[in-house]
A and B are shown apart, each in its own frame.
Chain A
Amino acid sequence: AQTVTQSQPEMSVQEAETVTLSCTYDTSESDYYLFWYKQPPSRQMILVIRQEAYKQQNATENRFSVNFQKAAKSFSLKISDSQLGDAAMYFCAYNFNKFYFGSGTKLNVKP
């Protein structure tokens, strides 16, 4: 069964610094998709970044990048130059026909 594990329930980062959120997953499939979603307090979930498993190159979106290690089934999110608006719950998700979400990491950004 596919599972997604986020082992860091909560993290804090100083504004302008870099933080990495961890995610591991379990699957027997070889072709799938991975996502990071952001859920600000009382607001809708929005996509941060996505990665196709068949691509070796790590995805980047402005200040957001991933470290995708397929053999290790690891998919971490790096946020550079953290901003106050980055404070939110972050969910890692695996997609093969349907989405499986991790339990989330609450990111606090300190001014």
Chain B
Amino acid sequence: DTGVSQNPRHKITKRGQNVTFRCDPISEHNRLYWYRQTLGQGPEFLTYFQNEAQLEKSRLLSDRFSAERPKGSFSTLEIQRTEQGDSAMYLCASSLGSGAYEQYFGPGTRLTVT
């Protein structure tokens, strides 16, 4: 068990460019979550998967954001036409299930849009 990993750790991009982040969850975890965290705030829910199915997407998530988990293993989060307001830490977490199950967090990808 190597924990949740995320790549890249840092991404600097120019406004209007597309970016893609990857998350590799703990192997036996069937739930995978994406969050956004800005400085001084707690993680804000973006979306989550149960295996390969995307079960919920935050209403705060614009159409420029899309996430996939093609084989129920790793997941990608893509942001199209990035804006300066997208600058944040993007966190991935995985868990064995819902309820009392702990979410294990990755180190995050810090996105800076210039």
Which residues of A line the B interface, CB within 8 A?
4, 6, 9, 33, 35, 37, 43-47, 50, 52, 91, 93, 95, 97-104
Contacts and interface: CB of A to CB of B under 8 A. Distances in A.
Contacts of A45: 43, 91, 93, 105
A109 to B, nearest CB: 19
Contact of A91 (B3, B42, B56, B107): B42
Nearest to B45: A98
Contacts of B35: 101
Interface string B98-113: 1110110111100000
A33 B105 CA distance: 18
Contacts of A6: 42
Interface residues of B, number: 23
A100 to B, nearest CB: 7
Given A44-B105, A44-B107, A98-B56, A103 B98 contact: no
16 contacts: A4-B42, A37-B105, A44-B105, A47-B102, A50-B100, A91-B42, A97-B56, A97-B98, A98-B33, A98-B48, A99-B103, A101-B43, A101-B44, A103-B42, A104-B40, A104-B41
A95 B108 CA distance: 21
B38 to A, nearest CB: 10
A95 B42 contact: no
A93 B40 CA distance: 15
Given A97-B56, A100-B45, 8 more contacts: A4-B42, A33-B100, A35-B102, A44-B105, A46-B105, A95-B98, A99-B43, A99-B45
Interface string B14-47: 0000000000000000000101000011111100
